[in-house]
Structure 1
Amino acid sequence: MSKINVALTIAGTDPSGGAGIMADLKSFQARGVYGMAVVTSVVAQNTQGVQDICNLDQKILDEQLKSVFSDITPGAIKTGMLAEVEIIERVSQYLNTISCPYVLDPVMVATSGDRLISTEAVEALKEKLLPIATIITPNLPEAEVLFGKELKDEAAILEAGKIIQSKYGIKNVVIKGGHLEKEAKDFLFLEDGQVVTFSAERIHTKHTHGTGCTYAAVITAELAKVKSVQEAVGTAKHFITETIKTAPELGHGNGPVNHVSYKGD
């Protein structure tokens, strides 16, 4: 048997299964990658919103990280919800000890609109993690936070991507255009200066819970399989489009996507 590719997610939970590490592990599995998870926060949430958050203390977070890093070396790492400055600082210490691809999903606000991390944590994210990321995956609202201005159209996104890339010293940036009014177009800013776009039909549905987590997790899985950044983002775009299209319409709010529906290579 050939050696299996391994990916690690460091993020919060979702007991309803649509977002956070639950979505990440499903996405890793769907892409044929062995998934590991370190929990940063236990989140009471469902398709209707976030009811409560308990951020884990530093000791158990550190022990989880130590358990993984001392035993199984991941081929790629993804971070999601990192709610506090102390969590970001501790995670960054471990990330700086390994040279595998690192995908940063700058989780700030849930699909429901609930804020997930503090203002101070956003600043720590910018300082400690953005510069060491292989790729970051902001949606339009998150890109606006990093850019400092509203992004109303493609011209603004093209300007913002290059400035975010330069300002924070990030190798690759993909700005997800799911919030644009027309087609669902994503913009990938590569470290060699190229800008590649990925377009898909807009699917009119409220069932998009966990799409950001899923998209970044698929990129992580593909990088763990030693795919290029452009290939990884392309696969993630096809994957998320199909999983939204076949969403099982669960729950009373913004339901999850269908993580097992994508049949592509």
Structure 2
Amino acid sequence: MKGRVLIVAGSDSGGGAGIQADIKTVSAFGGFAMTAITAVTAQNTHGVQGITAMSPDFVALQMRMVLDDLGADIVKLGMLGNESIAEAVADTLACYPDLRCIVDPVMIATSGDSLMGDSPCRAYGRLMKRAFVLTPNLPELAELSGENPGTVEGVFRAARKICLEHGPRYVLAKGGHLEGSVVSDLLVSSESRKIFSADRIESRHTHGTGCTLASALATCLAQGETLDQAVIRARRYVRRAILEAPPFGKGSACPMNHAVSSE
């Protein structure tokens, strides 16, 4: 077991995304998963029916208990739920300035449900500055950048704008919402970009892809891999998890198979 990953995120009662997907993913990569739960959701493959947020102070307490005893090699932030929790998380992380963070700005579920209230950009302001890698999907990229990235070049411009204006070291912009038979994810900094592409998989079993990719990336980095290596391994794992998905769920956002090999 190698790589301690503290996951700060919400619970998914359906088991396909959120804390549940994060723990499964970190474990599949041989890492040690620890959690600070921000919210509890009532959801299934048809969508989110309810959300109950934790108190900001309790989220911060969970984080401190883990970090002051077990420590962490990296922190992965997922669904935070509201601006008050985001501020509490940012305040807590300020006490641990050397910790790298992967920030998955979970604002909109695969089903289209809002998961971050009315002011997501303001909520993620301090956390984007703290991010080693920010991992938005296209709707989140558009919300954070104020751009409308409908092409690969548009994705690059929006991601670079976020790096320059908001401070994450890298943005891994996920291109699954773009049209076409090829899915391209862009790894962008203020000075560089790389494209990682693969043939599109037509499947209902894509619930939790963002959570899973970010947690896989975090674990690989916690284990000492380079960022490029981590992106390649994380993308390969997500692809396998989709291809080998179980036949569970009757809705449009069904779970993947997190038990696939991470190698």
The verdict on a shared fold, with TM-score over 0.5 as the criterion, is: yes
Q: CA deviation at 1:167?
A: 1.0
**Aligned mate of 1:239, from 237, 240, 247:** 237
Q: Could you say which residue in structure 2 is the equivalent of 1:197? A: 195
Please say if 1:32 is aligned against 2:30: yes
Gap runs ≥5 in structure 2: none
TM-score (structure 1 length as normaliser): 0.94
Map 1:112-191 → 2, pairs under 5 A: 112-125=111-124, 127-182=125-180, 183-190=182-189
Counting aligned pairs with the same residue, the percent is 37
Question: Where does 1:1-265 land on structure 2 (aligned, <5 Å)?
Answer: 4-98=2-96, 99-125=98-124, 127-182=125-180, 183-190=182-189, 193-253=191-251, 254-264=253-263
Unaligned runs of 5+ in 1: none
Specify the code of the residue in structure 1 equivalent to 2:105: P
**CA deviation profile, 1:114-143 (whole Å, cap 9, x unmatched):** 101112243121x21000100000011111
Deviation, structure 1 residue 263: 4.4
Deviation at 1:97, TM superposition (A): 2.2
For residue 66 of structure 1, report the CA deviation from its aligned partner: 2.3
1:239 Cα deviation from its structure 2 partner: 1.0
2: CA distance between counterparts of 1:201 and 1:128?
Answer: 35
Given that residues 11 and 79 in structure 1 are in contact (C-alpha distance below 8 angstroms), is that contact kept between their aligned partners in structure 2?
A: yes
Q: 1:103 to 1:263 in 2, by over 3 A?
A: closer
TM-score (norm 2): 0.95
Contact 2:172 2:188 in 1 (8 A): yes
Query: Take 2:219 and 2:4, find their aligned partners in 1: how far apart are those partners?
Result: 8
Read off the aligned partner of 1:163 and give its amino acid letter: K
Residue by residue, what CA displacement relative to the aligned partner does 1:64-95 show, whole Å, maximum 9, x if unpaired?
12211221111011011111121111111121
Question: After the TM superposition, which parts of structure 1 deviate over 3 Å for at least 4 consecutive aligned residues?
Answer: none
Kindly indicate whether the alpha-carbon contact (under 8 Å) linking 1:77 and 1:102 is maintained by their aligned counterparts in 2.
yes
8 Å contact kept, 1:214–1:240: yes
